[in-house]
Structure 1
């Protein structure tokens, strides 16, 4: 009996060591999922997995951009002078009015940051409305398939939600006044073609563009980086998508 117990203990210790070595070599959920056969996900799993990923990605993008400097501190989405007003900025800076131009830029980005958080419920509604065919097409589609889906389904709603918030914020942070000062001074310069830009429309569009840019980054991350798939369900669903595209 003692010999049997000793043998059993040795087997248990050996199994534990082998398991530990295996798990240490699979030091991420990604590696572990590849080592295991997770099988083909059901339609229900695909639906749940993709929607889970999209809710996280859109929520994360919205939260990040709505923080102070979410736009202003992110060079990829920072809102600058409208293209037609670049000459305005350059001229005013050359005249020593750089601080005024900086105030305009800061106020435009603050307005976008105020509006960004309002995107979350719009995206949640769009995700809930997805059919299983929508889900499969997104999962097996291009790397920006989800972003393109959102652009088609939510842009109008985002514009309607963002614009009044941005208009209010532009007034609150002084952007309207700063902009009027900038354009007013520029338009008084002799021989210059007067500029007339719909500021709230411009900032609204740029805010939405920035939002989709960040969502596209999150989408690409979970498609290409298995370590970003934080649950076994996401590993299974996106692992299946990778194999299906091979």
Structure 2
């Protein structure tokens, strides 16, 4: 008989495949709930720390097309006119600045991300393992988005305050939002950058966790090799 409970939750979508291969299923059945739980926590913590390391450096956002933060849509629409008015340098400076701000803010996330993993419940683990491709992102967002927004925002403000165009954008965007011409969440460039920085961070964490599942032998951790190797 195969183990039920949390170990079985590790199977997620490949259930039929695992049951069809007794040798590998036997390896999975040998896992205890504690091992399964510890393996997932190790994977999530390793993925979170790797994401912080990749993004919290110069060009971590700016040179990565998956997470590079573009100018707010309203400013993109106006950029051609602004360039024609001689403000092209400020447009370019602002785009670099908002990405640098995200790169500077991301290292602040380390402690909160690690704490979220270490205090994860068995129910959280089951939801992650059975929740599909976005379950990791959803877990971290639920646990950390609000407090991290508060930590990121001052760092972002400090960076954008040095670019005159940012203040001009806020004044115009605030009026546009008041008339319903712009989403309220995009009315402040600092709020916009903070949100995009967190979106990028959670995206990369999810990608790193998927890599660990796909290549447990390359993870460099005995518990990861045992737990996720049983899923191969």
| TM-score normalised by L of structure 2 | 0.75
Question: How far did residue 94 of structure 1 move?
Answer: 3.7
Match of 2:93 in 1: 103
Question: How far did residue 72 of structure 1 move?
Answer: 0.9
Map 1:156-171 → 2, pairs under 5 A: 156-171=146-161
Unaligned runs of 5+ in 1: 1-33, 186-193
Q: Distance in 2 between matches of 1:235 and 1:162?
A: 35
Q: Distance in 2 between matches of 1:182 and 1:83?
A: 11
Question: How far did residue 168 of structure 1 move?
Answer: 2.1
| TM-score normalised by L of structure 1 | 0.71
**Number of aligned residue pairs:** 198
In the alignment, does 2:109 pair up with 1:119? yes
Residue range with higher mean Cα deviation, 77-86 or 203-212: 77-86
Q: Distance in 1 between matches of 2:56 and 2:107?
A: 5
Q: Distance in 1 between matches of 2:137 and 2:47?
A: 10
Question: How far did residue 184 of structure 1 move?
Answer: 8.3
In the alignment, does 2:67 pair up with 1:80? no
- Would you say the 8 A contact 1:166–1:203 is kept in 2? yes
Match of 1:52 in 2: 42
- Would you say the 8 A contact 1:46–1:136 is kept in 2? no
Question: How far did residue 106 of structure 1 move?
Answer: 0.7
- Would you say the 8 A contact 2:75–2:169 is kept in 1? no
Match of 1:148 in 2: 138
Q: Distance in 2 between matches of 1:140 and 1:199?
A: 36
Match of 1:179 in 2: 166
Bigger Rg, structure 1 or 2? 1
Question: How far did residue 75 of structure 1 move?
Answer: 1.3
Match of 1:63 in 2: 53
Unaligned runs of 5+ in 2: 1-23, 173-180
Q: Any idea what SS the aligned residue of 2:47 has?
A: helix
Calculate the aligned-residue CA RMSD, in Å: 2.8
Residue range with higher mean Cα deviation, 63-72 or 84-93: 84-93
- Would you say the 8 A contact 2:217–2:229 is kept in 1? no
